[in-house]
Amino acid sequence: MESILRWYTPHSAVRKYIKILAEIVHLLTGTSSVQDAREEQIAHMMADYGTAIKRICLMYLKDPGLAEEAAQDTFVKAYYKINTLHDEHAERAWLSAIAVNTCKDYLRRSWIKRRGKDVSLEQLYIEPSSCREDRQLVEAIASLDKEHKAMILMRYYQGLRVSEIAEQLHCSQSSVYRRLEKAEQLLRDYMEE
Amino acid sequence: MDKETRFRYQAIDRCLSYCVFTAHDARRVFQKIHAPFPLCSKRRIALVLALLSLLLAAAASALGILWRQGLEQTASLYQQYGSEENWSLPEYEKALRIFSDIGIDLSDLPDTGSMDEALACQTLETYLLSKIPGETDSLHERLREYNGFFSTWSLEEKAWYSEICEKYGLPYIGGMICALPGDGEMTVDQATALAVQKLESHDALSPSSLEPYQMTVSYFAYENAPDTKYWQFSWIDPASERAEVAYRVTFLADGSDVEDGYYRAKTEEEMVEYAEHWNQREIQYLDIDNPDVDWTPEYLKKYNAAGRQYGSRLNWPMDVKADLYGDDMPSADMLTPDDALNAAQAYITACCLPVSDLYPNVRYREEYGYMIWFYPDAYGNENFIYFTTVNAVTGECEGISER
């Protein structure tokens, strides 16, 4: 009889429809009674993490205008997804993952793809007064592909633990370790050139 | 992460120190939150509404397709294995899957793992029957009525189901082989106009008389005369649970009248008048447990009203039964009717007699206590199988009378 118990729920297609309909209804009806509390929470997050998130977006998109839009969109998404944040100590990791995914979405846009991959230091608007080592490292990180860049930014810039990155990016810790190792190797290669 | 590494990677902050999240950014975030459609809200909303209607239509269509597939699969089960009495667990597993695929919630499926096969089959049959309200004991018929009463189906659905009956050897409903009108035959619109015209003329109806009703249509031939096609239009009371027909007209495919082609439901007054002509024996058959009732027209009116409100007389509330039968009401310190029924069922079961498939009628009179009849049909129209009385204070069952 176990085989019977496996599929006792309504048909998955029906459930999917119900979910989509509920989301559309939510979209059309707009606000709720917890709106104020959510806004307050987002305001705190922007104050605490806004700048770091914007810099992650800049490292990813290499365009200050786009980075500004992406950083704003990160907090808009956070506002609508706030109920998925179950551990308030994981805010930094949670926001970083949203920012990384927002930037990936931006990079999928056709006109950004056409813009080209090689971005010079000037386009990154790196502070001219920065020391040479810092400039080299930032340039090296900016040159990484998006997966490895995400690892470096989340682990070393945001200071997240491997377990936090794995949880937010929905992958195993060993996978994070492997990608980090590879990313560090790529950075070393870039710096030695 | 050590301090040195942390410091090293803070190069990003040092190099990008001009890049900060400003008050302007924060304002823009809240603007975006409060204006989710900043570009062209009307167009976005129109798009969402269009998508919504498309999804609703797709969902309805998907459910319809799933239901048809499920109904055909049960028909196939019946063809291969016969009706439920002959099924074993694999067939019930198939039936459960069919119900699940249609979207019927089976989250409270009982665990039959520890039961022997006969009990598991019986449990699953009862469970599946409970999932779709209805009066038949056949899973296929219950599933068929999941789409509403057959009479309310569309012309196309009726034709499709007749094909299923033919393909899997199931009996046609009412002996009618439904079909769609062919080329050169009257169209549905033409037949509808003719039906309304005939009905208005026959019953002197005004055009607005039919408006409160739901029109249903069938195009069919009787099984024993497959070459004679009929149109049948019914106007159903949408408030009635059993799709009761208010008006019906039937005519031949060429538009000509047939004998007894018109039907109109009787009004309350006509029912009372009609009842006066029945002989006492016929009336008593309506309620075989109550030979002593004086079936006056007024009484019949009250009796019919209870039937309309509560359905089968077996399910009428105790106060209604008390009023109509001259029964008494059990006091608060006595057993409840449900407790009395449980006691009676336990007693009958202890006597090794089957009782689970029977329909009880519980009544109470001071001199007898609880009187409980068990019928083989949900309306109590057939002779009862057992009769027993239960002491309303002690719960003791005082013997069983078998018919």
Minimal C-alpha gap between A113 and chain B (Å): 23
Q: With contact defined as beta carbons under 8 Å apart, do B287 and B313 qualify?
A: yes
User: At which residue do the structure tokens 């924060």 appear?
Assistant: B26
Overall average pLDDT of the B287-299 stretch: 65
Q: CB A17 to CB B58 under 8 A?
A: yes
Q: Which of residues 110-169 of A touch B (CB under 8 A)?
A: 124-127, 130-131, 133-135, 137-138, 141, 152-153, 155-157, 159
Q: Residue B45 half-sphere exposure, CB side, CA atoms within 13 Å?
A: 10
Contact across the interface for A157 and B9, Cβ inside 8 Å = yes
Give me the long-range contacts of A122-128 (CB less than 8 A, separation at least 24).
Answer: A123/A62, A123/A63, A124/A58, A124/A62, A124/B15, A124/B16, A125/A64, A125/B16, A125/B18, A125/B19, A126/B15, A126/B16, A127/B14, A127/B15, A127/B16, A127/B17, A127/B18
Query: In the predicted model, what is the mean pLDDT of residues A141-160?
Result: 88
Predicted TM-score (pTM) of this structure:
0.43
Cβ separation B29–A126 shorter than 8 A: no
Report residue A10: phi and psi, to 5°: -60, 160
CA distance readout (Å), B217 to B173, B193, B295: 15, 12, 38
Whole-angstrom Cα distance, residue B168 to residue B80? 9
Which conformational region is residue B279 in: left (phi greater than 0), alpha (psi within -120 to 50 degrees), or beta? Answer: beta
Give the model's confidence band at A6: pLDDT under 50 very low, under 70 low, under 90 confident, else very high. Answer: very low
Distance linking the first and last C-alpha atoms of chain B: 87
pLDDT: is B392 or B284 the higher one? B392
Mutate which of A31, A32, A72, A139 to test chain B, going by most B C-beta atoms within 10 A? A72
Q: Dig out the tokens for B364 from the structure.
A: 């109470």
Answer whether A104 touches B (CB < 8 Å).
Answer: no
Q: Residue B106: what are its φ and ψ, rounded to 5°?
A: -115, 30
Summarised one tens digit per residue, pLDDT across range B102-125 is: 888 888 888 887 888 888 888 888
Q: Parallel, antiparallel, or unpaired for β B214-222 and B369-375?
A: unpaired
Quick check: B282 pLDDT over 60? no
Please count the other Cβ atoms lying within 10 Å of the Cβ belonging to residue A6.
9
Cβ–Cβ < 8 Å for B14, A127:
yes
Nearest to B9 by CA among A98, A13, A159: A159
In the structure encoding, which two tokens stand for residue B280, read together?
């006492």
- Which helix (H) or strand (E) segment holds residue B140: the answer is helix B139-145
Average predicted confidence (pLDDT) for chain B: 82
Separation CA B176–CA B158 (nearest Å): 10
pLDDT at A96: 92
Residue A153 DSSP one-character state: I
Query: Encoding tokens for residue A70?
Result: 């992406």
Q: What percent of chain B has pLDDT over 70?
A: 85
Q: Given an 8 Å threshold on Cβ–Cβ distance, is B14 in contact with A134?
A: yes
Q: Do the strands B176-178 and B214-222 form a parallel or antiparallel pair, or are they unpaired? A: antiparallel
Cβ burial B142-159 (10 Å sphere, 16+ → b, else e)? bbbbbbeebbbbebebbb
DSSP state of B368: T
Backbone φ and ψ for A125, nearest 5 degrees, come out as 55, 40
- Specify the pLDDT at position B219: 96
Assigned token pair, A62: 């290499």
Cβ contact, residue pair A50, B109, below 8 Å = no
* pLDDT reported for residue B324: 85
Residue pLDDT, tens place only, A49-82 = 999 999 999 888 888 888 898 999 999 999 888 8
**Residue keyed to tokens 């397709």:** B65
- So what's the pLDDT on residue B58? 66
Mean pLDDT, chain A, integer: 77
Contact A17 B33 (CB under 8 A): no
pLDDT at B224: 87
Chain B positions touching A131 (Cβ under 8 A) are 14
d(CA A110, CA B8): 34
Per-residue pLDDT reduced to its tens digit, B116-173: 888 888 888 888 888 887 777 788 888 888 878 888 899 999 999 999 999 999 889 8
Total CB pairs under 8 A between chain A and B: 145
What is the ipTM for the molecules in this complex? 0.76
Cβ partners under 8 Å of residue B357, min gap 6: B376
Token pair for A11:
């048909």
The one-letter code for the residue type at B5 is: T
Closest to B112 (Cβ–Cβ): which among A1, A20, A76?
A: A1
The CA distance from B76 to the nearest CA of chain A, in Å, is: 20
Q: Do A46 and B103 touch (CB under 8 A)?
A: no
